[in-house]
Amino acid sequence: MKRGLVFGKFLPLHRGHQLMIETALSQVDELTIVVYDSRRPDGERMPVELRLWWLRELYPGIENILALDDPLAEHLDADDPAYAEIYAAGVAFLGRFDTIFSSERGYERFAGLLGAEHVLVDEARTLVPTSGTVIRSDPYAYRGWLDPLVYSSLIERVVFVGTESTGKSTLAQRMAEELSTLWTHEFGRELWEAQGLEGSFADHLKMARRQRQREDAASRHARRFLFCDTNAWTTLHWSLRSYGTADGRLHELVDRTVADYTWFLCANDFGWIQDGTREMAGAASGEFQEQQARDLERRGIPYVTVTGPVEQRVEQIKVALGEVGSG
């Protein structure tokens, strides 16, 4: 049985890496992929768990996909003998490999230390003329070199929550305009209006799932951020308010996705406006706001409260997102 090895940081996983993986799959019986953890800032935005997930989702037939600590070597060139020795020692426990695949001739010594053949894949970058460094400089501009699964997970989803009439939709749309990206419209509102302002218990799960599908679709075309005026968590709170309970599958969806967002709680300091669909005013609105704030705190979800007029809120959001001076 012929065994092969592909290794890298995959910051991010791009078409060049995929070409190497698919070339390897065509030449060996068993392929191992090693993902090196990274101490550089890019590794914080793309943690090793995310990079493992990309590979396992895109290549479910590869059983041996694992992460290893980067054994140092950030400051060494691949041509430096110490580089090859350090990395070869780090993978020795994985057993013998027949073939090592890379796109750089400098890994010839690394392969030799492992007693393996070195196969170069697209060394001149003619088939996939890009690199992780180039893509990291502007993932949106180079998104064509990324699988949609990878690109969409690089988008920061920003959600606005709070009781009725606190400016969530206004802020989602405004921030998308300010930062030249997209925002997701509220499916639940569209459904409710289409049904003549009538709803049912079952609608909440349907709304949450459809909203998430909208987010997933929009994230493939967004730029850096995707702004959301609702999400499954918000829908859960409406179900609890309306029926005193919620579908278990809705709870599961919320638990699975709450960590995907950057959260902003819109303060209840706007004047309440009846737009023909709203149900709460006065004390009821305040109670719903408190219910949401308590749940965010109970779940340990960090959030920023934005207050004041729209322009003031926009600036608060930009500061929180590190986008001061944008727009």
**240 exposure class (CB count in 10 Å sphere: 0-12, 13-18, 19+):** middle
The pLDDT of residue 274 is above 60 = no
> Residue 189: which pLDDT band, with cuts at 50, 70 and 90?
confident
- Edge to edge, the sheet with strand 117-120 lists 64-68, 30-36, 3-8, 99-102, 117-120
64-94 core/surface letters (b: 16 or more CB in 10 A; e: else):
ebeebebeebeeeebeeeebbebbbebbeee
Q: Which domains does the chain have, with CATH numbers?
A: 3-138 (3.40.50.620), 155-321 (3.40.50.300)
Global confidence as pTM: 0.86
The pLDDT of residue 308 is above 90 = yes
The pLDDT of residue 5 is above 60 = yes
- Edge to edge, the sheet with strand 225-228 lists 182-184, 225-228, 156-161, 261-266, 303-306
The pLDDT of residue 133 is above 70 = yes
**CA 109 – CA 84 distance, rounded (Å):** 6
Question: What is the predicted pLDDT for the residue at 39?
Answer: 67
Question: What is the predicted pLDDT for the residue at 74?
Answer: 58
Question: What is the predicted pLDDT for the residue at 188?
Answer: 77
The label of the residue with tokens 């049985």 reads 1
**CA 41 – CA 261 distance, rounded (Å):** 20
Question: What is the predicted pLDDT for the residue at 199?
Answer: 75
The pLDDT of residue 276 is above 70 = no
